[in-house]
Structure 1
Amino acid sequence: MVINLKNFVESCSSKLKMNDFQDLDHIDGISISAVCANLYKSVRDDLVMFYFRDGANYASVYTKSKIVSENIKWNLNVRKIKIKALIVNTRNANAFTGLMGYKGLKEIAEEASLQLTKKQVEDEDNPKKIQSSEILFGCTGTIGEKYPTDKIIKSIPNLISKIKYTQNKLIWVKAAMGIITTDTKPKLAMEECEIGSKKVKIYGIAKGSGMIFPNMATTLGYIFTDATLSNDILNKLLKKNIETTFNAISCDGDTSTNDMVSIFSTGKVNNLMINNINDKKISNFDKALHSVLLNLAKRVVNDGEGASKFITINVTKAKTDNDAKKIAFSIANSPLVKTAIAGNDPNWGRIIMAIGKAGIDINIKKLSIKLGHIKIIEKGQLFKSYIEDDAAVYMRESKKIDITVEMNVGKNFFTAYTMDFTKKYIEINADYRT
């Protein structure tokens, strides 16, 4: 297996090492392939397939944008209980491409189903016919450009011939690199837990670094487990955990047309049957899934286009969860807050501004704000022992910035994650197509 190092070209990830990632290895029931379909001018992996030779249960959450890509429309029309493959292309979003973009997916699915059926005949004792309606798609890249149907179709035989039935860390990294666009590094996470007495694995990869804001973000996130879980349970677990992970991040406040996070269950571990997500037997899996999703979501923010700081915004003691969320994202999406942090400027007035414009009733006399461990505002007034030079040192020396806002009017809270705005962010997005 040769990894395509050109995926790292012109990125901040040139110093990445394999030990920067967890040791994802093999999950029964999943096969992976990544190839170059020449979707970019340079040679790099840009087409990835996850093949479930015995099928997989699945669930997905998608963008809430009113303009959605053709692959999202395709996926929403898939009604099968199990799917056999997920095909992901980069460079082209297949959004605002109309009937031709959708037709392209149909043609690719038909070719893939034909080739995968041949693969079944070659490799399986009891081969099954793969149907085009058992294939899901992920697309990411530029909006409004003609979808490269012909290039992808021509690459399907090569994609299928390079399927690896046994994975290792290198193959997972290769797959994660194959789906990135402006990302500077691949994103992988894993957890292991037990359902009853059975040990199960949860692996995940994701891409995203700009146009990041719920619901969801310009994010592709794919989670894989060998547990036996129904579509209904997967759907409920994913929707529950997405709210405080991928729906808690923002890089620039823009929501994409292509966002999707999916979970696939191969059923290769014969764990106890789960009929309710409140069943105690699923609690460890629930926590582990949340950990994988949050790990990936944080990696997306940390890799935000041009980011130099990872910012955590905790809004606590709010009247409602929704109030806390609105205030957190008002701060997270403020260009003035984000540029101040990029400049290591503890301009707390910008945080005050962002809180005020959130549209939430504020009892100023109860408001408190901290930057890291440094108290700035207490009971609506500048803290008498606040020293701005201390705050400036904290911002200058810290790559991770914590902002805590205490409303002191209730017991509810929300945490949002974001990054700063640097000159590099402008350069990346100004040069995106040139």
Structure 2
Amino acid sequence: MKDGPVSPLAPARFPDLPAIAGLEAAIGRAGFYKHERPDLLLMRMPAGTRAAGVFTTNAVGSAPTDWCKQVLAATRGSARGLLVNAGCANSFTGDAGDAACKRAVTEASAAIGIEPREMLAASTGVIGVVLDDSKITSALLHMKLDAVSWPKAAAAIMTTDTFAKGAGATCEIDGVKVNIAGIAKGSGMIAPNMATMLAFVFTDAALSAPILKTLLRQETETSFNAITVDGDRSTNDCVLLYATGQAKVPPIADAKDDRLAGFRQALSDVLRDLAIQIVRDGEGATKLVAVNVEGAQSDASAKIIARTICESPLVKTAIAGEDANWGRIVMAIGRADQPVRKDMIAVRFGELYAARDGMVSAEYDEAAMSAYMKRDELEITVTVGPGSGRARMYTCDLTKRYVEINGDYRS
């Protein structure tokens, strides 16, 4: 995080998150930033913890994402440690980056008394710089595990974020109370599959790695894969879900088990909350925008159209200028290269119709539309045909501040 104003869309305060039994954390400063700030997070879970992950589809990837994939595959989801550094992505760094990641993981696992193969890792920051793991080794000497301070943990993983992000929920599985808590970072280089973002979610439920993996993949689609700030997919994105097993849930063998309905909804709520907070902190953002697409040939087609609208620089700059330029939205619908019925296209801002049945709406009111566009949170809904396909995505506006932030990112 660089010094500067907090996003005008930031929540009023960091939420109160439930404690996760068996979870410990330590915060440190390895010095990956010129200014003094925490940039290292180390966490330990009890024996028997299970984990799952969803990772970026960026073809370049990074040393820590490669490490996590290998560990989760080799151990079948048995993991009880997490090491996160901010300030250096350790991506596009070749064999040297892989070796640095392995050394850092080895040192961190030794510091908390677990095996390297039980440790997952994540990095965020500048691409193309090999991780200086000696800084992590030195920082670990001054770090001590304790009860988790969620605000401090969330702050330690920030880069250009202007506020720390957290979300939590409590639910029941077959009559047993379970807690869910998560933190995330992200502000720019945000796009679906995944979105530069990291998210770490923890529950005390006793659930298997296959169930965690299934639930995480499904619920990520309507959360982290339904947001975009600038259309750029990072090399380091990941969402990790840990289950410490301290809440003794009766055995469940299938992710489709009805007893998981409450947990699934709670997990979905936490992931979506974290994802929307990332959009609220979009670099330079002043507007949070939800885009709904209805009447598409399929849900997949609707999502492509929604993403095209969300990522159009012309749409996003019009929103920044509080201009309800619905023609730009129609343009984006058409260039999504999806089946649409031109004579059925409708565009609505909130409850105000700008277009209906393929032309400007008879009730179009420029003054009412201008007043609506001054809001901090906007809802745009488009109808594109007679189909049943629907999608909802979140984005933000594109302002001069975005250019300033990314123009001097490395300086």
Q: TM-score, normalised by structure 1?
A: 0.91
Tell me if 1:351 matches 2:329: yes
Distance 1:319 1:16 in 2: 36
From 97, 102, 119, give the equivalent of 1:135. 119
From 369, 388, 393, give the equivalent of 1:411. 388
* Kept after mapping to 2: 8 A contact 1:211/1:256: yes
CA-to-partner distance for each residue in 1:368-420, whole Å, 9 max, x for gaps? 11011101111111111101221111102x10111100123111200010000
From 231, 248, 264, give the equivalent of 1:286. 264
Partner of 2:410: 433
The equivalences for 1:193-204 within 5 A come to 193-204=171-182
Letter in 2 for 1:98: G
Distance 2:203 2:195 in 1: 23
* Kept after mapping to 1: 8 A contact 2:9/2:288: no
Tell me if 1:114 matches 2:96: no
Distance 1:105 1:385 in 2: 60
Q: Secondary structure of the residue that 1:155 maps to in structure 2?
A: helix
Pick closer, same or farther for the CA change 1:16–1:258 going to 2, 3 Å. Answer: closer
From 147, 155, 168, give the equivalent of 2:139. 155
Tell me if 1:10 matches 2:40: no
Identity %: 41
Pick closer, same or farther for the CA change 1:362–1:15 going to 2, 3 Å. Answer: closer
Distance 1:429 1:55 in 2: 42
Distance 1:8 1:421 in 2: 19
Letter in 1 for 2:64: N
From 95, 98, 106, give the equivalent of 1:99. 95
The equivalences for 1:233-252 within 5 A come to 233-252=211-230
The equivalences for 1:341-420 within 5 A come to 341-396=319-374, 398-420=375-397
CA-to-partner distance for each residue in 1:321-340, whole Å, 9 max, x for gaps? 11100110000000000000
Give the Å deviation of 1:316.
Answer: 1.1
Pick closer, same or farther for the CA change 1:16–1:290 going to 2, 3 Å. Answer: closer
Q: Secondary structure of the residue that 2:403 maps to in structure 1?
A: helix
Q: Secondary structure of the residue that 1:181 maps to in structure 2?
A: coil
Distance 2:337 2:169 in 1: 39
* Kept after mapping to 2: 8 A contact 1:94/1:144: yes
From 169, 177, 181, give the equivalent of 1:191. 169
Distance 1:291 1:16 in 2: 18
Letter in 1 for 2:56: T
Tell me if 1:223 matches 2:207: no
Give the Å deviation of 1:115.
Answer: 2.1
Distance 2:126 2:48 in 1: 31
Distance 1:101 1:11 in 2: 34
* Kept after mapping to 2: 8 A contact 1:198/1:270: yes
Partner of 1:53: 46
Distance 1:407 1:14 in 2: 33
23-32 vs 345-354, which moves further: 23-32
Distance 2:325 2:8 in 1: 33
* Kept after mapping to 2: 8 A contact 1:34/1:174: yes
Distance 1:372 1:43 in 2: 44
What are structure 2's unaligned runs of at least 5 residues?
Answer: none
Partner of 1:304: 282
Q: Secondary structure of the residue that 1:28 maps to in structure 2?
A: coil
Q: CA RMSD in A?
A: 1.5
Partner of 1:421: 398
* Kept after mapping to 2: 8 A contact 1:8/1:14: no
Pick closer, same or farther for the CA change 1:213–1:15 going to 2, 3 Å. Answer: closer
Distance 2:52 2:110 in 1: 25
Partner of 2:69: 76
Partner of 1:33: 26
Q: Secondary structure of the residue that 1:239 maps to in structure 2?
A: helix
Q: Secondary structure of the residue that 2:252 maps to in structure 1?
A: coil
From 299, 310, 317, give the equivalent of 1:339. 317
Give the Å deviation of 1:14.
Answer: 10
* Kept after mapping to 2: 8 A contact 1:29/1:54: no
From 309, 316, 321, give the equivalent of 2:294. 316
What are structure 1's unaligned runs of at least 5 residues?
Answer: 1-6, 118-129
Distance 1:110 1:416 in 2: 39
From 246, 250, 258, give the equivalent of 1:272. 250
* Kept after mapping to 2: 8 A contact 1:69/1:94: yes
Q: TM-score, normalised by structure 2?
A: 0.96
From 153, 166, 171, give the equivalent of 1:175. 153
